[in-house]
Amino acid sequence: MALRVLDPRQSPEGERLRMAAPLATLDSTVVGFLDNAKIGTARFYDHVEEILRSRFGVREFIRRRKPDATRPAPGEIIAELSGADAIISGIGD
């Protein structure tokens, strides 16, 4: 079996990556949570959701959980989260 080494770095000729522009406010926004399926994530997100709702006026939350922590989120989960104004993805260890 041949060993194949992949280089994860972006090509110098590729398009430069840019950060998304910050939201002017969180009032009346939709925030997505991507849960990595570790034991503490849901409870942590419950706390963050309460803060964002009560202090910053977030209107709605889209919460999705990956099947497990070791793999990328499936395309359908990413598609559902694309309706959010901002997304929080974290590790719940």
Tell me: the pLDDT tens digits for 7-28?
A: 777 667 767 778 889 999 999 9
CA distances, 1 to each of 4, 6, 18, 26, 53 (Å) = 9, 16, 39, 52, 53
Predicted structure pTM score: 0.78
Q: What is the pLDDT of residues 49-77, one digit of tens each?
A: 999 999 999 999 999 999 988 889 999 99
Q: Closest by alpha carbon to 88, among 53, 49, 50, 59?
A: 49
